[in-house]
Homo-oligomer: A and B are copies of this chain.
Amino acid sequence: MSELSFEERRELFLNVAARLFEERGYKNTSVEDIAAELGFTKKVFYYYWKNKQEIVQEIHDRGLALINTQLDAVLEREHEPAARLDAAIRNHIRSVLRDRSIAGALLGDFDFSEETLEGRRAYTRRFQELVEEGIAAGVVRDLDPKMLTFAILSVCNSVGGWYRPDGRLSSEEIQEIFASFAAEGWRTSSTGGR
- Asked if A154 is at the interface of the complex by the 8 Å CB criterion, the answer is yes
Q: Which residues of B contact A178 (CB under 8 A)?
A: 147, 151
Give the interface SS of chain A, mostly helix, strand, loop or mixed: helix
Copies of this chain, complex-wide, total: 2
20 further interface pairs, Cβ-Cβ under 8 Å (given A139-B187, A141-B180, A158-B158): A25-B27, A27-B109, A109-B109, A140-B187, A143-B186, A144-B173, A147-B169, A148-B177, A150-B162, A151-B158, A151-B181, A154-B154, A154-B157, A154-B158, A181-B185, A183-B185, A183-B186, A183-B187, A184-B185, A184-B187
User: A94 → chain B, closest Cβ, in Å?
Assistant: 16
Please state if B186 and A147 are interface contacts (CB–CB under 8 Å). no
Expressed in whole angstroms, the Cα–Cα distance for A103 and B139 within the complex equals 32
For this complex, into which size category does the number of interface residues on chain A fall?
A: 35 or more
Which residues of A165-194 are within 8 A (CB) of B? 169, 173-174, 177-178, 180-189, 191, 193
A97 CB within 8 Å of chain B:
no
A-B contact pairs, 5 of them (CB 8 A): A141-B180, A141-B188, A151-B155, A158-B158, A184-B185
Complex formed: what's the CA distance from A8 to B174 in Å? 47
Is A186 a contact of B144 with CB atoms below 8 Å?
Answer: no
Quick one: closest B residue to A161, CB to CB?
B154
Residues of B within 8 Å of A85, CB to CB, are 186
Which residues of chain A in 77-115 are interfacial with respect to chain B, using CB atoms and an 8 Å cutoff?
82, 85, 109
